[in-house]
Structure 1
Amino acid sequence: MSSPPPTPGRQDSAPHDWIVGRRRADCLATAAGVRTWAVTVNCHRRLRGPYTGVGTMLRTIVPQAMSRSPELVAAHLVAILCAAPELEELIGSPPGTLTEHAPPGERTRWYSRLRTRRISHHLVDFLNDLARESETGSLALCFDTVDEADHTDQEFLAIALRRTDPALVRLGVASEAPDGSDLLPELLDALGSRTTQTQAPHLPADELGSITDAGDHSGDHSNGYSDHSDYADHDDEALLRAFIDSDGITDRPEETLAYYRARKADPQAVAALHRARAAELEARGEVSLTLGAILYHVRHGAERLYDAWPAYVQAEKYCMDVGFYRAQLELLDEMELILRDAPEDHDRGKDHHVYIRRGQVLALLDRQEEAMASYISGLADTRVPREAMALHYYLGMLYTRFQRPEHKDHTVAKAHLNTSVALASQIPEPDDRAFFTVFMGNGLALAEVHLGRLQQALELVDAGLARLDRELGDARHRLHRSVLRANRAQVLMGLKRHQEALEDFNELVRIDPFYNEYYFERGNARYQSGDLDGAMTDYDEALALGPMFPELFHNRGEAKSANGDIEAAIQEFRHALELEPDTLESRIALSSLLLETGAEREAIELIGDGLGLHPEDARLLCLLGQATMAIDDTDRALDALDRAVAADGELYQALAVRAALHYEHGRFDDAVADLDRALAVAGDDPDLLFNRGYAQEAAGRLAEAVEDYTRALELPGADSETLISRRLECRAQLSVD
């Protein structure tokens, strides 16, 4: 289970540490003087690519954690192995999903770009729990060379700085003096608000000593520096080998100069040293090395650049499979350069691979315009039907799924997807023709859903499932069949055929029992069907399987709120916000419940933080109006409600609340005017009609009040007793008059 959440936006009194210096050695020396760190790790992405620092930290602390708290390690297995796959032999592997077990060529489902955030949240919970169970009750972890870290390490540190109490898990972050270009904005924000910065003095070389840190990636020297005794004589061969052994990350100028002198004098000898180092690292059989140092040495040791292609393909595929998309994009850039060195008769499918993969990754990273440019370049460069089929499919998915709402065009999407279906139908091999036609048809079904043509979408998915069963048997493309079934379940929910949808979700959970998103989706279906207990059971199972995501806690909060457990719902919404403070729906839900329970001042603070993230959001402003009304801050309430209505003139709730404020201050005509607008948007609503009738009555327009009360009585959910009483009172006054 996850750690108890702090209050969103909480700042601890004792900050983490940020050490800034000119060189890594300076930072390490200063960090050692700041406090004693249990682990110090180098985050330079050239060593192991994604999660270089986090993975090294885990390889250091997990063996001890495994001996003391194996159940804690087991609860975070997926996240630990994502960052440190080498630990599988020690801690075991989780039961796989259909995605992970899909044979080569059958992978049709990719992780969300948010997966690494989910992994980071899980790892933060692991560290918090591990610190609580440790002998000292705390952990102190230092991450250096963060300015050269991969996105995954920086993302983890940004989240960890925000979500850890320094009294429990103390973090040190060391980097060169930043201008902001090498650090993620999120990390810079966290460093600015959650750390004390210490400037590392620049130390002379003879004062650096032998600086080491735990958990080195290589096992021979831990920090990119070598303590060669013959440095004093500036032996170029020793300096060259030190540079190679550092995997090119040393910041000792004498080592770097020796390397470039040697490469100019005898490039073949230097290339041989790179090849030897690559072989040494490959012999360790550690996956993460293939994403960093091995690639570096293979590239620089290759007789021609094109010889490095297989190593890059292997690394790029791994990154795609596990969701390391930003690292994958960097690899694809390198692969494009490698192809420029390819012989004229090389396999052109490799160029197509780069076009397709770059487009896929850019789309997953929400960079749609660049993705489209990659796909269009691919279409302009190919006359191969299968390549054109794939490119039209991905262009269709851009228009119907990935584009921002204002740029989506489902008709254009259908044009591309129909083309992809047509090209698939011409594939000569029967099995491939069946699979690709169904695959492209599934994309077409999504466009039909977005066009509101649910029945047509259902027919496409049903036909696809039937064709795969008929022509390919039971064993092949099991993953894609599960995707089709999941899509059918969603379409059935849209058609209000809830029982049939639940039958599909039940089958999905049966065939892919360790994929937590199916439990999440079935929980949503059960919630929509009114089965709140069933929904909570599924949400609990999804959480247990991990990794976690804020939508899971939000939906748990909605289910608990609907079940009347308001305090438990509040805790769920708090946890969703603790994970991701910009989760707008959870902030709105939590603020609403705080208002319901009389915690107006806490709600005002929460809403204020939300408006800092989502300026002029109409729903937040409406809630601010309600909260400030409750504490009699009338001017602030009116300003918030005016801004809410200006931001969204169809938010009838804001009009209704402003009408109540007008009523309280005797502005009955203004109240009626706001309720007129609210009813024009919402349609006949018994509460709005009652409120307008009450305002009409206060303004002395009794006949209009009677009319509103009468209309309200005709609607379901009306408070009949109160409406009849008010109508009788008005009629009595009218008869007297």
Structure 2
Amino acid sequence: MADHRHHWVRAPHRAARAEARAGLTLPPGLATVSADRRLRGPYTAVGTLLRALVPDALERCPDAVRRHDVELLTTTPELHGVVPATRETLTSLAVPKERTRYYSRLRTLRIAHGLAEFLTEYLRALGDGPRTLVVEDAHRADPTDGEFLAVLLRRMDPALLTVVVGADDGPLDTASSPAAPLARALAAHCARTDAAGTAPEPATETHAETDAELAARYVREDGTTDDPRAARAHAGLPDAERRALHDARRAELEALAEPSLRLGAQLWHAEQGSDPSGAGADLLREAANHCCDLGFYHAVLDYGRRGAALVDHATHPGHWWTFIAKPTTALAALEHSDEILPYYERARALSADPDIHLQCAYGTAMLYTRFLAGEQRDYQLARGWINTAIALAGQHPEPKERAFRTAFNRNGLALIEVREGRPEAALALLDTCIAALDEVLEPGDHALHRSVLVYNRAQVHAGLGRHEDAVADYTAVIAVDPNYAEYHFDRGIVLRRTGRLQEALADFEAAVRLSPPFPEAYYNRADVRAELGDTKGAADDFGYVLTLDPDFVDARLNRASLLAELDDPDAARAEVEAGLATDPTHPQLLTLKAQLLAAEGDTDQAAAACTAALTADPGCAPAWALRGELAYGAGDLAAATADLEHAVALDDDPGMRFNLAVAYHDGDRHPDAVALLDAVITETEDPAARLQRARSLLHLDRPAAAEADLLLALADDPDLTTEAEPLLAALHD
């Protein structure tokens, strides 16, 4: 069988990388794409690939296209009109002025997983053996493409699709997503080829390119050539001539009417052309808004930086504010919150616009409430800023807009109340906001934010344990926004807490269906399946969680436990070892390892694993209990009793108390044993506990009570007859 591997080809120039690729033994090609973000911005490589494959996929595997429509349409806007959008939400449909909710930074990671799965389904439908995907210019990729490549390299079987990543010999920092670093994936999953190479030499043919031709090629190739002669020729052109070339190329690209070009090459040519602060700033503003709405936050920072270099507050106040506001949203989402405050301070210093001061006040309040960590959080400062925002909102002359702005900012105050431990005050604020908007707005006005208010009220109800009220509010928002997966997910959490497991399962399944893959939905569905007795289904769900996130240690633990229940100790042990490779001192994993070792008869190693668990967490009651059981089995009653006493002090689990009662019995501590078993029987009515209590009662010379326990135990569980017979005989001697 062939040894299929993904490949990472490093060389300073494309020509050298192409020559190195030619020396590799590769399957037939699927596609060759460039990831250079200057071409089309976020998802440059993904979009190029999907534009080539999706028309064929609609014929070969239309169900795969339907299941992954969110991923396809989010990354490749040219597919709108080709791929039906079946899962729109109030967030995705909101007009810009009503957009009050932004995606998590992890949404692009979910999209990457969905794309990897779509590609796998397509390749299986395509058949005809393995293929090769070449992705060039990875060192110039936007983090969205870098994240996709990292996921694809880890998840894609190279016997189905061999991925060849081309990059220069420098670092890949700019292409990395913190959630899925590209450099780490390349090192882990690729055979690396380092090729030598020098800059392209002047042509030796009869006609060598002139400087004018080289400059024209540089512009025609959208500044992506790695031929330094072309870059030098372009830089050496007279300013007017150079800008004219860019204007002409922008017009060519604009005529193609492909939206992703407006995020890359078309935008770049506008910056380099004759009107950078006009056409260039317009496209940068459009791109920043678009990418902020879709959660492409690294690109937002890039566009914001470039836009801010072209405009100022005096000449382009609207653009200037976009290049401040959108980067602050991106920085918050990317957890770079300590970089945000200077943006607001600059805006407050330069602008007297009350709308800008309102937004800065709200943003600063949320910064001190939500985004800054530890000692940097300051709820008093936050309250001062949110009250400033509320005061400014109340000055708006138009009644409907005034009501909306006031409600939006009072919602922020409600969050501060929750964080300061006053949930009832938060509920009162939210009730007031919802009632005020219902009174003055038409039913469809500001639908997104009105649903967010009800959702936030549901969150507060859930935090207070008012589960029915929470479910009612979640149900209300689902009615108006049925495709928003997180609403189903959060309602499922509350339904599970109230024991409504089938309804919770239905909600988690809806969350799975409506969203690109995210681990938490499958994790919670697995938990519910396990509670409902579907051990195999639960183990499968935890397995898929680990496909999405191999470092999710609790999923390892739960899957290993379920595999042990399914009588597959080898698979359980493999999961435990994989989890310990990620977290070597995880106490629950170490305890489960001890249980598996004990079941195999390796009691010494099992005891050592328990000790390791207790070193990591002295409060791990199961480890104390298991080590006590092992000591009891080894005949060390004193050690067994001491460990079981530790366990029971930490956890009143009936099984642990039963085992301690057995140890007390063997140590002639019969009153202590009976006291423990009294509590166990009251709680569980366990017939085995009655039988064990009878043993101690006999030692305490209480035969009538012992006989009563024995008769009740046998009535409840006749299988105990063999154990009970010697005790009954002793009663009648």
TM-score (norm 2): 0.88
Q: What secondary structure, in the 3-state scheme, does the structure 2 residue paired with 1:445 have?
A: helix
CA contact (8 A) 1:600 1:631 kept: no
Q: State the AA in 1 paired with 2:188.
A: S
2:197 pairs with 1:202: yes
The answer for the alignment partner of 1:97 in structure 2 is 89
Instruction: Name the amino acid aligned to 1:533.
Output: Q
Is contact 2:142-2:174 (8 Å) kept?
no
Which piece of structure 1 moves more, 488-497 or 326-335?
Answer: 488-497
In the other structure, the counterpart of 1:612 is 581
Q: Which residue number in structure 1 is paired with residue 723 of structure 2?
A: none
What is the deviation of 1:338?
Answer: 2.6
Q: Residue 229 of structure 1: CA displacement?
A: 11
Corresponding residue SS for 1:338: coil
Secondary structure (helix, strand or coil) at the match of 2:7 reads: strand
Once the 2 structures are TM-superposed, how far is the Cα of residue 85 of structure 1 from its aligned partner? 0.8
**In 2: Cα distance, 1:356 partner to 1:620 partner:** 45
Q: Find the counterpart in structure 1 of residue 134 from structure 2.
A: 142
For residue 484 of structure 1, report the CA deviation from its aligned partner. Answer: 1.3
Residue deviations 1:477-508, cap 9 Å, x none?
Answer: 00111111222223333344433333333332
- Post-superposition shift, 1:532? 2.5
Instruction: Say whether residues 1:326 and 2:318 are aligned partners.
Output: no
- CA offset at residue 63 of structure 1? 1.6
Counterpart in the other structure of 1:297: 269
Is residue 521 of structure 1 aligned with residue 487 of structure 2?
no
Matched, 1:162 2:135: no
List per-residue Cα deviations over 1:426-483 (Å, max 9, x = no partner).
Answer: 4444323211221122222233334443333222222111110112232210011111
Q: Distance in 1 between matches of 2:573 and 2:192?
A: 32
What displacement does 1:33 show?
4.3
What is aligned with 1:28?
Answer: 18
CA contact (8 A) 2:199 2:228 kept: no
Instruction: Please tell me whether residue 471 in structure 1 is matched to residue 440 in structure 2.
Output: yes
SS at match of 1:241: helix
Matched, 1:733 2:702: no
One of 655, 660, 666 as aligned partner of 1:692: 660
Query: Counterpart of 2:551?
Result: 582
**2:216: which partner in 1?**
241
| CA distance in structure 1 between the aligned counterparts of 2:278 and 2:604, rounded to whole angstroms | 70
Confirm whether residue 39 of structure 1 aligns to residue 11 of structure 2. no
> Matches of 1:404 and 1:631 in 2, distance apart?
47
**Which stretch shows the higher mean deviation, 66-75 or 112-121?**
66-75
| Amino acid in the other structure paired with 1:62 | V
1:547-580 Cα offsets, whole Å, 9 max, x none, are 1211111122112111101011100110011011
Q: 2:453 aligns with which of 479, 484, 498?
A: 484
How has the CA–CA distance of structure 1 residues 647 and 448 changed in structure 2, closer, same or farther, with 3 Å as cutoff? farther
Instruction: Note the 1:380-419 alignment, pairs <5 A.
Output: 385-404=354-373, 413-414=382-383, 416-419=385-388
Partner of 1:222: none
* Residue 257 (structure 1) aligned with residue 257 (structure 2): no
Distance 1:639 1:436, change over 3 A: farther
Check conservation: 1:231, 1:238, Cα contact below 8 A. Answer: no
1:374–1:613 CA distance, 2 compared to 1 (3 A): farther
Q: Which residue of 1 aligns with 2:169?
A: 177
1:459 partner letter: A
Q: Name the SS for the 1:572 alignment partner.
A: helix
> In 2, distance between residues paired with 1:476 and 1:548?
31
Aligned with residue 448 of structure 1, among 413, 417, 423: 417
Tell me the distance in 2 between the aligned counterparts of 1:627 and 1:403: 43
Aligned equivalents of 1:660, 1:483: Cα separation in 2: 52
Runs of at least 5 residues in structure 2 that lack an aligned partner in the other structure: 704-733
Q: Within 1, Cα distance between the matches of 2:378 and 2:663? A: 45
* Distance in 2 between residues matched to 1:709 and 1:300, nearest whole Å: 83
Task: Mark the CA change 1:374 to 1:722 in structure 2 (over 3 Å): closer, same or farther.
Answer: farther
**TM-fit CA distance, 1:239:** 0.8
Distance in 2 (alpha carbons) for counterparts of 1:671 and 1:677? 10
Match of 1:651 among 620, 623, 626: 620
How far, CA to CA, are the matches of 2:98 and 2:427 in structure 1?
23
Shift, 1:84, TM fit: 1.1
Question: Which amino acid in the other structure matches residue 709 of structure 1?
Answer: L
Q: Does 1:283 align with 2:251?
A: no
Query: Structure 1 vs Structure 2: percent identity of aligned residues?
Result: 36
Equivalent-residue separation in structure 1 for 2:526 and 2:339 (angstroms): 37
CA deviation profile, 1:326-366 (whole Å, cap 9, x unmatched) = 11112222223234xx3x73355655544433222111112
Q: Matched residues in 2 for 1:229 and 1:514: separation?
A: 61
Q: Deviations over 1:137-188 (max 9, x none)?
A: 4432111111111101111111011111111122111111244545537322
1:194 shift after superposition? 1.7
Kept in 1, the 8 Å contact 2:31–2:132? The answer is yes
Equivalents in 2 of 1:230, 1:281: separation in Å?
A: 31
Task: Provide the residue aligned with 1:9 in structure 2.
Answer: none
CA distance in 2 between partners of 1:619 and 1:387 (Å): 51
SS at match of 2:530: helix
Higher relative contact order (CA closer than 8 Å, sequence separation 6+): 1
- Note closer, same or farther for the CA distance 1:170–1:229 as it changes in structure 2 (3 Å cut): same
1:138–1:170 contact (8 Å) kept in structure 2: yes
Query: Match of 1:200, as an amino acid?
Result: A
Q: Is the 8 A contact 1:127 1:169 kept in 2?
A: no
1:307 to partner: Cα distance = 6.0
- Deviation, 1:383, is 5.9
Q: Please tell me whether the aligned partners of residues 13 and 198 of structure 2 are also in contact (alpha carbons under 8 angstroms).
A: no
Letter in 2 for 1:259: H
Q: Secondary structure at the match of 1:90?
A: coil
- Does the CA-based 8 Å contact 2:358-2:393 persist in structure 1? yes
Distance in 2 between the 1:625 and 1:413 partners?
Answer: 49
Matched residues in 2 for 1:350 and 1:658: separation?
67
2:4/2:162 contact within 8 Å kept: no
CA RMSD across the alignment: 2.9
Letter in 2 for 1:733: H
Matches of 2:363 and 2:631, distance apart in 1: 53
**2:309 alignment partner in structure 1:** 337
Using the TM superposition, name which of 87-96 and 432-441 deviates more: 87-96
Residue 252 of structure 1 and its aligned partner are, at CA, apart by 1.4
Is the alpha carbon distance of 1:33 and 1:367 closer, same or farther for their aligned partners in structure 2, counting shifts above 3 Å? Answer: same
- In the alignment, is residue 80 of structure 1 matched against residue 69 of structure 2? no
Alignment correspondent of 2:713:
none
Which residue identity is paired with 1:651? C
Deviations 1:92-125 (A, max 9, x none): 3335221122123100111111111111111111
Q: Structure 1: how far apart are the matches of 2:208 and 2:656?
A: 88
Q: 2:184 aligns with which of 166, 189, 195?
A: 189
Residue 289 (structure 2) aligns with:
317
SS of the equivalent of 1:46 reads helix
| CA contact 2:553–2:579 (8 Å) conserved in 1 | yes
SS in 2 for 1:14: coil
Distance 2:477 2:500 in 1: 19
Change (3 A) 1:615 1:397: farther
Q: Residue 246 of structure 2 aligns with which residue?
A: 274
Give yes or no for contact 1:375–1:391 (8 Å, CA) kept in 2: yes
Q: Deviations over 1:362-386 (max 9, x none)?
A: 1111223223554455556666554
CA distance in 2 between counterparts of 1:409 and 1:335 reads 32
Q: Aligned letter for 2:17?
A: C
SS in 2 for 1:283: helix
**2:609 corresponds to:** 640
